[in-house]
Amino acid sequence: MKKVLVTLLVIAGVTAAVLSAQGGAQNGSVTSEGGVGYINPGSPTVSEADATKFPIPRLPDGKVDITGPWVGGGSNSDIERDAGLKPGELPLLPWARELRDKRLKKDEPYTACLPMSVPRVNPYPWKFAMSYTSKGLSHIYILHETGDAGAHRVVYMDGRPHPADPIPTWWGHSTGKFEGDTLVVDTVGYNDKFWFDSRGTPHTEKLHTVERFTRLNYGRLRNQFTLDDPGAFSRPVEMTFTARLLRPDPQTGVGDLMEFICLEDNQYGMAGGIQGIGSGTSNQK
């Protein structure tokens, strides 16, 4: 009985966070820091006091530890508002603005369990995972608790260049390097299928992004995001988002990503055999 109750509470919390991520929150207070909205009750984060109370951790090789898990740090409901821009300030070309205004939240790709891509970071935790070989750091994987469709992002840290003609994908082709304590991620080769937000802000396959991740203190991570897409925007746009560190488990001292399975029509809970939870309905037993 206790296991069933805990499972129901967890899934109920996940469902509330998902509804809020899609612009339909019914419960929980939405706050803002550094231009990014997030949900307090769904993902407990390090407090303002503790964010500066502890020193920034470092890896054995001396590099700053940006692992996380983090919460927020990008757009979700409205990239223009989440980046702290004024209404109408996002330099969309006329066709892109018209398309955004015609799109409906119910039609966004994420409702069909497709990846969100960048700079979309919803209220779920996410983290950097480092991969090493005998030659040193070779890859960084960016993992999201909402790893829809099994998607994970790969950042190549071995010095390789972008392909001359990359195959368009949801996450694009990312190369990275450290500039001091800042991780710089350069990405090209995106497809045009994902939305920047649930408002429907579009882009094209000409999209090129540069992300500069800097750990400001123990509990905060800054994402300085450069969006350059001459196919949909009249000029490059500079944005700044702030992520918060997920509050560590008091027993283990670490924060972990939970399992999350997205089914068609966002029927949350069905994957675990629990019925009556989520936006969809089914007679499955």
pTM: 0.79
Phi/psi for 37 (5° steps) reads: -90, 150
State mean pLDDT over 64-73: 94
Q: 92, 43, 88: which is closest to 68 by C-alpha?
A: 43
On average, the pLDDT of the chain sits at 80
Question: CA torsion sign, 53 to 48 to 185 to 258?
Answer: positive
The β-bridge partners of 177 are 184
Pick from 1-10, 43-52, 214-223: least confident: 1-10
User: pLDDT tens digits for 218-240?
Assistant: 999 999 999 999 999 999 999 99
pLDDT at residue 282 tops 80: no
Taking a C-beta distance cutoff of 8 angstroms, is the pair 123, 43 a contact?
yes
Tokens of 187: 């990405």
State mean pLDDT over 142-160: 84
Integer Cα distance of 212 and 177 in angstroms? 10
**What is the band of 22 on the pLDDT scale with cuts at 50, 70, 90?**
very low
What pLDDT score was predicted for residue 260? 75
The β-bridge partners of 83 are none
What pLDDT score was predicted for residue 86? 94
User: pLDDT tens digits for 244-271?
Assistant: 999 887 777 677 888 777 766 555 555 4
Pick from 100-104, 119-123, 146-150, 190-194: least confident: 146-150
Indicate the domain borders of the chain.
2-272
Length of the chain: 285
Residue for token digits 């082709």? 173
State mean pLDDT over 53-65: 92
Taking a C-beta distance cutoff of 8 angstroms, is the pair 18, 266 a contact?
yes
| Residue percentage of the chain with pLDDT more than 70 | 75
State mean pLDDT over 162-190: 97
**What is the band of 149 on the pLDDT scale with cuts at 50, 70, 90?**
low
Q: CA dihedral defined by 270, 266, 191, 175, rounded to 10 degrees?
A: -60
